[in-house]
């Protein structure tokens, strides 16, 4: 007997009992819906968080002095690390021609910028950067000119400002060529950086950029560690460049073989894996709770399939008496269960994804279709169909034809 | 009346017989409801448990305590607007204590974070609270060993410490901490008291179990500068009803101390644990609703299962219904029969689910705070009753309105 014939029989018996089929499918729909809804919302939230925390551009990693552990200072054993310096960054740049850019940057937070009688809120971040760091940060100049090597070499008193700062300090005039003051130092504005995409979590539009040498002459060269940012040409050589960079940094900082690194490699992945440590258990708990409804639906399927086997005892007896094989009967009932589950699953997935996206849009998360969960959900449906359909199908297949025919 | 009672009895018997006749079917249907009820009850006990442990923790902070500090705890105001407020100093505290008449107790608090050592055991990043002997009156502390430091000890800035129960467990696994010398940030302190367990872990660093209390003079001497740090003034009202009055008085007293003109805004904040509560509610409230919704879905699935099976049952017994109607059974008799069947199944499933949930939550209690409430038990029973009635209604109605002639002819 062909599979298509068995399938046809299953479909026909499903059609003949529309109400029953509909209610059973509804059970599966709700079961899958609960999983997909939760997973869609969690995926949307996670995407927003990941994007918000992705403080680096693509294919970029950063070498820092210390690990960033949430809520703590540096670890006890790391407190005596030497600061990273500009010189180390330049040596690394020479040694690492395979990297696209090797930038160096330094930050200070909570400063005020003044122009005439206007001043910003004291939440300005001041970045001291090399020309390469402009590229690794993906800062594009909208008006005026970019930072030049000259500015770095001669530590000229110039700065680039972000669009919102320009709007605040220069509502009516062209900012280029004007002089603002930060911590009393006059700085000539040479360029305005285009507005950054709004990110969930961190505000990155209140930055003033100086040549790193100028930064150090204002805020001090010592007791400040620089960050070295490395951007690779593509994600293919990301790993190899990172490994090479680690090797060269160990050489530059004279770390003996066998000693651990005395610096920390920070990448978007390292941040995201840090976050996943928190979100993974939440996901597992949510999955476990939302699975309960699917199991309840499975029990419902099993129940209805058992009824269906009992009702069709005579039919099974006749088919067996006419020479139907056990496997045919088995697969007929199994198919019935699986078809119920897959139809219910598909509907549940559609409703779950759309309602999840609706709920997510209320909290302004980005729309997302959690493809892996769509497939996991479908897989779960089939699994439920098989698990809860097997016993009734087995019972049908093992009916004694004589007894079955006599059944009243 | 008698007739209705009789019908009820008869219907119940028929329902029970029908359930007995189809044991597997009834058991599976019950399992569906059982899963739903267990999930919902377990979820609500877990939610209640977390809630209780938070409430317990927050009451360790005292619901009638006000915290006068430079910064607001949770505020939409930009931080730089509060940055230029003057620090709250010990002098502010002395004046406040002099002028405020309503409070039960007033205590100055300065904090630091230090490593605590005893022998070769150490605990890091411990929240250190420096205050005076009045501090204990602003709390509900109970002691496992010893006492809080005295007036004499705090006024003369002796190096004495009271440690929280968690720290006690970590530093003194063999017990008896009294009169032992611990090192706080490298400075020797004598332990004069150990707190009994107070709060719960949900409070994080605010949890008194994870704190060490020392005289405020020694915290200024050893850890933080009294000139560059703002202290907090803890003010306890005489009773929870007087919190608002005490708060109003505290505000006017502080304004007087600061010499603020009538049109100047406060340059200090008076915090209350209510702010903490609101934060908690806004986060946990969403989780609670989501949890109940998701577990509610499984109950819904169970209800669909019952409805489905009841339809089957009605169809199977079409002939029987026809027969009963033909010899004079009323519509409501048939309706009651099927409704009773579905309700009995639901109630049994629900009760078993309830027992399972209670047992499970008692087991879970070892790792996780859960709390069973009688209201939850009642609601669970009510829900399973309602589920039975609602999901039985449509099939029972179908059965009740059958035409006896057609039904008898049914093959």
For B46-80, the DSSP string reads HHHHHHHHHHHHHHHH-TTEEEEESS-SS-SS-HH
Q: For A238, what's the count of Cα atoms within 13 Å in the CB-facing half-sphere?
A: 13
> In terms of DSSP bridges, do strands B211-215 and B121-131 run parallel, antiparallel, or are they unpaired?
parallel
Q: How close B94 gets to chain A, by Cα (Å)?
A: 33
Per-residue pLDDT tens for B66-117?
Answer: 899 888 887 666 677 777 788 999 999 999 999 999 999 999 999 888 889 9
Per-residue pLDDT tens for B247-305?
Answer: 999 999 999 999 998 888 888 988 887 777 777 777 778 888 888 888 888 889 988 98
Residue A125 and residue A206: Cα distance in Å, rounded?
Answer: 6
Q: What pLDDT is stored for residue A201 in this prediction?
A: 42
Residue A241 and residue A93: Cα distance in Å, rounded?
Answer: 12
For the segment A293-306, the average pLDDT, to the nearest whole number, is 90
DSSP structural state of residue B178: T
For the segment A104-109, the average pLDDT, to the nearest whole number, is 89
**Short-list B349, B344, B385, CA closest to B19:** B344
Burial class of A137 by CB neighbour count within 10 A (0 to 12, 13 to 18, 19+): buried
Per-residue pLDDT tens for A345-398?
Answer: 999 999 999 998 888 787 777 777 888 889 999 999 999 999 999 999 998 999
Contacts of A72 in chain B (CB under 8 A): 125
> Do residues B309 and A307 touch, judged by C-beta distance below 8 A?
yes
Contacting A residues, span 117-156, partner chain B, CB-CB under 8 Å:
121-123
DSSP structural state of residue A81: P
> Poorest-confidence range of A272-281, B130-139, B140-149, B314-323?
A272-281
Q: What pLDDT is stored for residue B256 in this prediction?
A: 92
Contacts of A293 in chain B (CB under 8 A): 294, 297-298, 300-301
> Poorest-confidence range of A95-109, A188-202, B39-53?
A188-202
Would the CB atoms of B301 and A30 count as touching at under 8 Å? Answer: yes
Q: What pLDDT is stored for residue A71 in this prediction?
A: 46
Contacts of A292 in chain B (CB under 8 A): 35-36, 39, 294-295, 298
> Poorest-confidence range of A26-30, A69-73, B250-254, B403-407?
A69-73
Q: What pLDDT is stored for residue B208 in this prediction?
A: 82
Residues of chain B above pLDDT 70, percent: 95
Tokens matching residue B303: 């209800």
Which of A26, A122, A311 is nearest residue B304 as measured by Cβ atoms?
Answer: A26
Residue A227 and residue A104: Cα distance in Å, rounded?
Answer: 6
Q: How close A134 gets to chain B, by Cα (Å)?
A: 29
Helices (H), B79-164: 79-83, 90-99, 151-155
SS3 B13: helix
> Poorest-confidence range of A75-89, B169-183, B333-347?
A75-89
Q: What pLDDT is stored for residue A350 in this prediction?
A: 93
- DSSP calls for A186-249: EEEEEEEEPPPPP-SS---S-EEEEEHHHHHHHH-STT---EEEEE-SSSSSHHHHHHHHHHHH
Burial class of A342 by CB neighbour count within 10 A (0 to 12, 13 to 18, 19+): middle
Would the CB atoms of B297 and A26 count as touching at under 8 Å? Answer: no
> Poorest-confidence range of A226-235, A260-269, B180-189?
A260-269
Which of A123, A286, A296 is nearest residue B298 as measured by Cβ atoms?
Answer: A296
- DSSP calls for B222-272: HTS-TTTS--EEEEE-SSGGGHHHHHHHHHHHHHHHHT--TTSPPSSEEEE
A23 shares contact with chain B (CB less than 8 Å): yes
Question: First vs last Cα of chain A: how many Å apart?
Answer: 28
Residue A399 and residue A385: Cα distance in Å, rounded?
Answer: 21
Per-residue pLDDT tens for A115-134?
Answer: 888 888 888 889 999 998 88
**Short-list A35, A26, A43, A374, CA closest to B295:** A35
Tokens matching residue A185: 């130092």
Average pLDDT, chain B: 86
Q: How close A64 gets to chain B, by Cα (Å)?
A: 23
Residue B149 and residue A405: Cα distance in Å, rounded?
Answer: 90
Per-residue pLDDT tens for B30-41?
Answer: 898 899 889 888
Highest mean pLDDT among A22-26, A57-61, A221-225: A22-26
Q: Which sequence spans correspond to the domains of chain B?
A: 2-57+278-409, 86-267
Contacts of A17 in chain B (CB under 8 A): none
SS3 A83: coil
**Short-list B200, B62, B34, CA closest to A303:** B34
Residue A310 and residue A403: Cα distance in Å, rounded?
Answer: 12
Helices (H), B259-330: 273-316, 318-326
pLDDT class of A158 with cuts at 50, 70, 90: very high
Q: How close A245 gets to chain B, by Cα (Å)?
A: 34
> Poorest-confidence range of A21-25, A51-55, A178-182, A210-214?
A51-55
Residue B308 and residue B350: Cα distance in Å, rounded?
Answer: 18
Contacts of B76 (CB under 8 A, 6+ apart): none
Q: What pLDDT is stored for residue B254 in this prediction?
A: 93
Q: What pLDDT is stored for residue B1 in this prediction?
A: 64
At CA B98, angle to CA B97 and CA B99, rounded to 5? 95
ipTM: 0.71
> Do residues A81 and A65 touch, judged by C-beta distance below 8 A?
yes
Q: What pLDDT is stored for residue A199 in this prediction?
A: 47
A44 shares contact with chain B (CB less than 8 Å): no
For the segment B54-70, the average pLDDT, to the nearest whole number, is 78
For the segment B306-331, the average pLDDT, to the nearest whole number, is 88
Helices (H) and strands (E) in chain B, counts: 13, 10
Residues A89-110: b if buried by 16+ CB within 10 A, e if exposed: bebbbebbeebbbbbbbbebee
**Which residues sit opposite A113 in a β-bridge?**
A182
**Which residues sit opposite A84 in a β-bridge?**
none
Contacts of A341 in chain B (CB under 8 A): none
Q: What pLDDT is stored for residue A200 in this prediction?
A: 45
pLDDT class of B203 with cuts at 50, 70, 90: low
Tokens matching residue B320: 């029987």
Position A43 pLDDT exceeds 70 = yes
Would the CB atoms of B312 and A23 count as touching at under 8 Å? Answer: no
Q: What pLDDT is stored for residue B229 in this prediction?
A: 83
């Amino acid at each position: 007997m062909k599979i298509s014939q068995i399938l046809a029989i299953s479909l026909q018996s499903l059609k003949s009992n529309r109400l029953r089929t509909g209610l059973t499918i509804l059970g599966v729909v709700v079961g899958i819906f609960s999983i997909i809804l939760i997973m869609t919302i969690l995926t949307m939230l996670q995407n927003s968080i990941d994007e918000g925390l992705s403080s680096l551009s693509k294919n970029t990693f950063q070498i820092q002095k210390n690990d960033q552990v949430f809520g703590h200072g540096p670890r006890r054993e790391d407190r005596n690390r030497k600061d990273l310096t500009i010189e180390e960054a330049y040596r690394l740049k020479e040694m690492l021609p395979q990297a696209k850019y090797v930038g160096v940057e330094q930050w200070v937070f909570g400063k005020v910028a003044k122009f005439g009688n206007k001043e910003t809120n004291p939440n300005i971040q001041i970045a001291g950067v090399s020309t390469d760091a402009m590229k690794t940060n993906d800062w594009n100049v909208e008006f005026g000119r970019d930072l030049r090597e000259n500015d770095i070499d001669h530590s000229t008193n110039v700065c680039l400002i972000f669009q919102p700062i320009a709007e605040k300090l220069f509502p009516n005039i062209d900012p280029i060529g004007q002089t603002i003051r930060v911590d009393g130092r006059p700085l000539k504005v040479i360029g305005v950086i285009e507005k950054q995409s709004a990110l969930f979590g961190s505000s990155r539009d209140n930055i003033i950029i100086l040549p790193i040498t100028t930064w150090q002459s204002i805020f001090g060269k010592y007791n400040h560690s620089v960050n070295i940012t490395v951007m690779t040409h593509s994600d293919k050589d990301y790993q190899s460049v990172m490994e090479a960079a680690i090797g060269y940094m160990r050489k530059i900082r004279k770390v003996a073989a066998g000693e651990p690194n005395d610096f920390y490699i920070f990448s978007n992945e390292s941040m995201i894996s840090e976050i996943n440590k928190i979100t993974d258990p939440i996901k597992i708990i949510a999955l476990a709770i939302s699975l309960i409804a699917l199991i309840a639906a499975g029990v419902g399927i099993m129940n209805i399939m058992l009824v269906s086997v009992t009702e069709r005892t005579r039919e099974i007896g006749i088919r067996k008496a006419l020479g139907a094989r056990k496997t045919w009967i088995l697969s007929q009932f199994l198919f019935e269960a699986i078809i119920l589950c897959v139809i219910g699953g598909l509907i549940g997935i559609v409703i779950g994804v759309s309602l999840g996206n609706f709920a997510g849009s209320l909290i302004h998360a980005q729309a997302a279709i959690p493809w892996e969960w769509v497939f996991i959900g479908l897989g779960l449906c089939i699994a439920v169909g098989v698990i809860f359909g097997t016993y009734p199908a087995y019972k049908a297949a093992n009916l004694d034809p004589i007894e079955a025919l006599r059944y009243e | 009346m008698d007739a209705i009672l009789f019908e009820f009895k008869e219907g119940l018997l028929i329902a029970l017989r029908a359930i007995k006749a189809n044991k597997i079917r009834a058991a599976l249907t019950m399992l569906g409801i059982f899963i739903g009820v267990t999930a919902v009850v377990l979820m609500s006990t877990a939610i209640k448990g977390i809630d209780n442990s938070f409430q317990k923790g927050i009451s360790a902070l005292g619901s009638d305590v006000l915290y006068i500090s430079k910064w607001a705890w949770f505020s939409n105001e930009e931080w730089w607007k509060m940055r230029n407020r003057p620090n709250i100093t010990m002098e502010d505290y002395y004046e406040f204590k002099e002028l405020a008449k309503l409070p039960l107790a007033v205590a100055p608090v300065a904090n630091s974070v230090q490593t605590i050592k005893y022998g070769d055991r150490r605990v890091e990043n411990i929240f250190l609270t420096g205050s005076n002997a009045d501090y204990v009156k602003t709390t509900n502390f109970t002691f496992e060993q010893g006492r809080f430091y005295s007036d004499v000890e705090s006024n003369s800035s002796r190096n004495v410490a009271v440690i929280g129960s968690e720290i006690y467990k970590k530093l003194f696994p063999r017990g008896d901490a009294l009169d032992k010398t611990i090192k706080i940030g490298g400075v020797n302190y004598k332990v004069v008291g150990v707190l009994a367990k107070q709060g719960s872990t949900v409070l994080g660093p605010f949890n008194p179990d994870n704190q060490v209390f020392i005289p405020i003079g020694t915290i200024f001497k050893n850890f933080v500068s009294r000139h560059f740090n703002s202290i907090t003034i803890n003010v306890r009202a005489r009773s929870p009803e007087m919190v608002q009055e005490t708060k109003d008085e505290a505000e006017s007293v502080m304004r007087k101390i600061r010499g603020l003109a009538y049109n100047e805004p406060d340059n200090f904040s008076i915090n209350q644990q209510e702010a903490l509560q609101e934060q908690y509610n806004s986060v946990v409230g969403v989780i609670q609703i989501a949890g109940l919704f998701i577990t509610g879905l499984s109950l819904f699935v169970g209800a669909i299962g019952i409805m489905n099976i009841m339809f089957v049952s009605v169809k199977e017994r079409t002939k029987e219904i026809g027969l009963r109607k033909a010899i004079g059974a009323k519509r409501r008799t048939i309706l009651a029969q099927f409704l009773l069947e579905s309700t009995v199944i639901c109630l049994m499933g629900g009760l078993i689910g309830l027992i399972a949930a209670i047992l499970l939550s008692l087991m879970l209690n070892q790792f996780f705070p859960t709390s069973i409430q009688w209201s939850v038990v009642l609601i669970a029973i009510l829900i399973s009753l309602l589920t039975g009635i609602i999901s039985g209604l449509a099939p029972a109605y179908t059965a009740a309105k059958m035409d006896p002639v057609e039904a008898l002819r049914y093959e």
